[in-house]
Structure 1
Amino acid sequence: MRYKMEIRYNGTFYSGWQVQPDEITVQGEIEEALSIVLKEKIRIVGSGRTDSGVHARKQVAHFDFNGKLDLKKFEYSLNGILPQDIAIVSIRRTDNDFHARFSAKRRIYKYFFSTVKPAILNNFIYHWPYKMNLRHFTSVFPLFEGERDYSSFAKKIEGKNGICKIYRMNISKKYDVFVFEIEGNRFLHGMVRTILGTLFLYERGKLSNDDISRIFNGKNRQLAGPSVPASGLVLWDVKY
């Protein structure tokens, strides 16, 4: 039987989602808790791999287990074992052909930053110490939207190519905090943070629209801007 989990975590002290040798990861912590409660080795599959320091409001994962489960008690037991910065939001039975990664249609990320030093929230909000002209900043968004090759914005490419479809990008502000939101069918390794780093260069006048086009056409990571820190990035939602 297959089960679907929704997971929330603060990624500050983890080496990303995916299990890695000799590293503390979110996936590793959850698999250990599952194995303790179910008394057998359990492997989970996530909707995507968040990098070290990246957070998740809604990560989705699945696992297989053939025994009987009281889901409310099971969820309570898992949350009792897991660290305080990882939470199982829900667990439910799902179809056996459901796949947390390959069944996902869209993913949404949000990046939080402020032009004011965030101090106590510095693990969640990036400090970008420059004035923002939102009209100028958003004017280049159409160049990023649609189906394009994002090879220049990726640390590495998994699969056959760097083609991704970005459905929308927008930015909002509440108090001193800006929220950049991006929705796409898939994201390459490090892609969101590199897009935003490139947008920041554009905002400061260091890149033009023609430069952005050349970055896309060059298919070379060295052409794009630097990656912004992981701390402001949140996997916000996964749609099926």
Structure 2
Amino acid sequence: MRNLCMTVSFDGTNYYGFQSQPDGNTIQDHLEEAIRQLTGEKIKIIGSGRTDAGVHAYRQVFNFHTQSAIPLERWCLALNGRLPKDIVILEAREVKPGFHSRHSAKRKTYRYTINANQYPDVFLRHLQLHHPGILDIDAMKEAVTYLIGTFDYTSFASRHSTKQNHVRTIYDAHIEVDRSKCREGHPRDQGVIELFITGNGFLQHMVRIIVGTLLQVGEGKRNPVDIQRILEAKDRSAAGPTAEGKGLMLWNVEYNFMEDKPEPPSFALDEVEEDEADSTE
């Protein structure tokens, strides 16, 4: 029995999240169906974590056990030919039997994108939260620094969270601003704001609640130092609203693969681009 670990990228706009739901139409459903079509096996994949409806992933990781003898280098191309165009397998590797994509993860990074220009980007509207008002971006940059460290993040967790322990460690949180799409001579355009946040784990809606709170800081409704008081409150009502899911993207999941002595990763993007019939672009 082989244990395969794969990295997938997807646009979550048209899906009910990553994990299987009773109503179907999730990323997991489509991945498992593609594997069934390829190998004839009915398997359950293990994702590195859940993403909500409308949330995207640049590099989500999953693993599964298979009896298939298909060569490692053929998996990406074969699965991409059976997946919808907005789901793409980027990488495949073979790992030890005990590898678990969620339990073995060391760090996760999320990116949240806010379009702070006067008008939304029609082409990226499904990937960005458009904020029509002026924001104090410097205040938001200061506010995120108070999130770094090991804290009880109950204030930034959904009231429906089932986790008994809300203590997490945030290793890095910072904001980058891309002004390349600002219109010349239009001071109202502030650019595209991207929050990157890296931690050892995240609670339900945690990043989206952080974003909703940061937007209140940017709007002048809160001061940057208020983040400290919100953390100390350990009360969801102390934080801001939950931002829309469409601006959120699982950016990266990190592992120490040297512990598992895997086979070298198999990259299939070049192969896909060479064969238009199998292209997922």
- Shared fold per TM-score greater than 0.5: yes
Instruction: Give the superposition deviation at 1:209.
Output: 4.7
- After TM superposition, the structure 1 = structure 2 runs for residues 182-221 of structure 1, keeping only pairs within 5 Å, are 182-209=197-224, 211-221=226-236
The one-letter code of the counterpart of 1:107 is K
- Confirm or deny: 8 A CA contact 1:151 1:157 kept in the other structure: no
CA distance in structure 2 between the partners assigned to 1:66 and 1:152 by the alignment: 45
SS at structure 2 position matched to 1:3: strand
Instruction: Give the superposition deviation at 1:210.
Output: 5.7
Q: Deviations over 1:173-216 (max 9, x none)?
A: 12231211111110101100100110111122212356433322
Instruction: Give the superposition deviation at 1:239.
Output: 0.6
| Alignment counterpart, residue 163 of structure 2, candidates 151, 159, 164 | 159
Instruction: Give the superposition deviation at 1:31.
Output: 0.8
Instruction: Give the superposition deviation at 1:33.
Output: 1.0
SS at structure 2 position matched to 1:144: coil
SS at structure 2 position matched to 1:91: strand
SS at structure 2 position matched to 1:193: helix
SS at structure 2 position matched to 1:43: coil
Q: Deviations over 1:148-181 (max 9, x none)?
A: 1111111133433111100111111122312111
State whether structure 2 residue 137 is matched by structure 1 residue 134.
Answer: yes
Q: Deviations over 1:84-132 (max 9, x none)?
A: 0001111121111211001111001111111122222110111112223
- What residue is the counterpart of 1:4 in the other structure? 5
Q: Deviations over 1:55-108 (max 9, x none)?
A: 101000000012312223332221111100001111121111211001111001
The one-letter code of the counterpart of 2:155 is S
- Confirm or deny: 8 A CA contact 1:113 1:125 kept in the other structure: yes
| Alignment counterpart, residue 229 of structure 1, candidates 229, 244, 249 | 244
Query: Please, which moves more after superposition, 188-197 or 113-122?
Result: 113-122
Structure 1 stretches of 4+ moved >4 Å: none
CA distance in structure 2 between the partners assigned to 1:184 and 1:119 by the alignment: 32
What's the TM-score, normalizing by structure 2?
0.81
Query: Please, which moves more after superposition, 189-198 or 153-162?
Result: 153-162
The one-letter code of the counterpart of 2:134 is K
- What residue is the counterpart of 2:259 in the other structure? none
The one-letter code of the counterpart of 1:205 is G
What's the TM-score, normalizing by structure 1?
0.95
- Confirm or deny: 8 A CA contact 1:106 1:239 kept in the other structure: yes
- Confirm or deny: 8 A CA contact 1:145 1:166 kept in the other structure: yes
- Confirm or deny: 8 A CA contact 1:158 1:188 kept in the other structure: no
The one-letter code of the counterpart of 1:119 is V
The one-letter code of the counterpart of 1:234 is M
Of all paired residues, the percent bearing the same amino acid is: 39
- What residue is the counterpart of 2:27 in the other structure? 26
CA distance in structure 1 between the partners assigned to 2:228 and 2:74 by the alignment: 53
- After TM superposition, the structure 1 = structure 2 runs for residues 94-113 of structure 1, keeping only pairs within 5 Å, are 94-113=95-114
Q: Deviations over 1:2-45 (max 9, x none)?
A: 00000000000000000010131001110111112111211101
CA RMSD for the aligned pairs? 1.5
State whether structure 2 residue 183 is matched by structure 1 residue 168.
Answer: no
CA distance in structure 1 between the partners assigned to 2:225 and 2:92 by the alignment: 48
The gaps in structure 2 that reach 5 residues or longer are 181-190, 256-281
**Closer/same/farther in 2, CA of residues 158 and 186 from structure 1, 3 Å limit:** farther
Structure of greater Rg: 2
